[in-house]
Chain A
Amino acid sequence: MDANLLSSYIFAVIVLNVLLGLMAYMTYFERKIMAAMQDRVGPNRTGPLGLLQPIADGVKLLSKEDIIPKHADRRIFLLAPLFSFVLSPVAAAVIPFGDSIEVFGHEVNLYVADINVAALYFLAIGSMAVFGIILGGYASANRYSLLGGLRSAAQVISYEIILGLSLIGVFILSGSLSLVEIVSQQNETLALGPLQLPNWFILSQPLAFVIFLIAAVAETNRAPFDLPEAETELIGGFHTEYSGFRFSFFFLAEYISMIVISLFAATIFLGGTDGPILDGVWWLGLKACIFLFFYIWLRTTVPRFRYDQLMGLAWKVLLPLVLINILLTGLIRLWGLGML
């Protein structure tokens, strides 16, 4: 086997395990931060400062009884959580974690794959991941789950369009769909007279950034767009009937896709691994943490949307805005190239 391929595989295994570990502690930090915001203490019983809580939770979920409802569509019911769980970390394969490093005399690239349609690949995986939720909702043979699945279908289709279109401005400016290329372009400096700024796309595409952020929250089914699992009305929605480790698959998938979409946002809009002093990986991690904190902050601050507000926001507000953004970016790009 060729050495490059082998190092890609090894790197993929490392990324997968790091994501799973991060995910566990993401739940811990979410609970701690939420507790702080709500003037509570948060988990503090298991281990020092409650640090062993995620492990205890994991053991608890794995050892619980796996219940399959009598009238459930058995095969789909068993398949649906796997669908979610397998697809969410797969999207991380195209994210560049830094420049290549030297290991045992081999040049090892810090990404699993650099494909020329990396950004589209990311969107494609995201659009597939919703099947887990829809099928889970359908197979449970439960009205609430079915409603959760239906909501998810409508929500994800609407917000996927917004998510994809908000990236087009970046593609127009960078002229590439490859994340490695997009990051390397953001490493350059943007000189505005005496002002030296990093050429991050958040500066040239601020509107697209805001829209992407909103769509990303909706895409991962997080508050305030968590209508597919709205506890107060749907009793958990698509995962009402799931228990034990099948439930934990949905749970894992949600948190991993949060982490992955944060990494993606940091890569596209915040210059990815670009930054002084520290290594690229740390910068990428720090920037992703900003987004993750934002997710939690939103959850504690903003009440859940009503369903028609959610759809209205996507189609009547965000879609026109994002189309205007594409038009303006295109015109400016043509003008910059001297073709207008």
Chain B
Amino acid sequence: MLWACVLLPSLALDGVLRGQPPLMQPFALVHGSAQRRTLMAVNAAARARGLRPGQRLAEAQALCGELLTQPFDSRQRERDLELIAAWAYRYSADVLLDPPHALALEVGRSLRLFGPWPRLAAELRAGLAALGFHHRLAAAPNPCAARVLARARDGATAADDRQLRQLLRDVPVARAGLPREAAALPGMGIRFMGQLLDLPRAALERRFGPLLSRRIDALLGARPTGLRRYEPPEHFEARFELATEIHGVQALLFPLRRMLADLATFAAARGCGVQRFTLRFTHAQPPATELAVGLLSPEHRAAALFEVARLRLENFSLDQPVLEFAVRADALRPYTPPGTDLWDARSANPLQWEELVNRLRARLGEGAVHGLAADPDPRPERASLPDTADADTAVAAPASPAPRPTWLLPQPVPLSRPPARILAGPERLETGWWDGGDVRRDYYVVELPDGQRAWVYAPPGRRDGFMLHGWFA
């Protein structure tokens, strides 16, 4: 087993800043009660002005007038960690969440697919950089040690227990994530893990209690870590709170691109595609505006998702300024690469058909698309049902030996010209007495002077006053 630890030292800050265009001004996340606000994380520009995490907000504002601040949201940080876990899930089925800002993934079994560890490490780093998170990365035979190594030295790799012991020896005890009792160790001259590991374990346990001993066992891989395993959720949801009210759609495109990239990351890691997602815009006044975006086929490329959403937004006007917006995708569809059948250029993929019908209905109205079904009713006007293609309605009508036209006029109209000749008929239809729609007609097939063939009827027994009811098209 080889565990990689991804440590995200500025997870909260990165999570906020990556949704915005690059920010040159000093920026800080603040937390604490209204009376005692303190800085929680600061960006590089703020650091250059002498601001530090832990400072009082009042003090920071005195130092730096143009400081931008935003309240820290711990739920947002959890969501960002979940997002990175979802991304990591594509490299390993074993992803452990190590809140607040680390996660571990088992990569030993992934090396066959993703190459030796240095290559996989480079890929992980590139992926994290693309997502917009600062990170430290280390690998060790157990997740606990990987975390300690990542904290001590970015890029440290221990392939086996012997190398791990070697690397751990140089880690200061203060940075090994030891329990509180261990705070006394440096005062006793034990500054590095090597010294601690050399001490007799029984004596150590008597002096410091069982917690420290357990922690050392966990570091050496002798105890399991109690970390929660990441289970990919069934749907994707991401929110973005805007710093100021946004009036135009254009200003939403940057954060939208980032969120759809996250959605694509999430879907790709699950081997799924997104076919439908919802954009939700929250205004100062409810209700929120919702915009559904559908695709012709499941998609997991960020650029394609963004393109569709952008096209959809262009035809869309927001009548109120936006405070917050969210992306939600419920139904993730298994991603089927197009062209599944080698011989048939036209694939009979039912998803395509459903999506086509959805598209047509979306633009032309719900009633615009219907199927065709026959009804055994002998009255011509009731023999065709404009049905919504619910399977059971296709009843086989009794085959009629008499000719029937391919087009039927919805309303019979008087025939404007006398027919040139009668081709067939009369055929008496006398029916419908049971429901009041009484019909008594003599039907003829006639040829009109210009060669058209029409289906007409006349009152029983007469050969004038023809009504046109259909065309033999």
* Chain B binds chain A: no
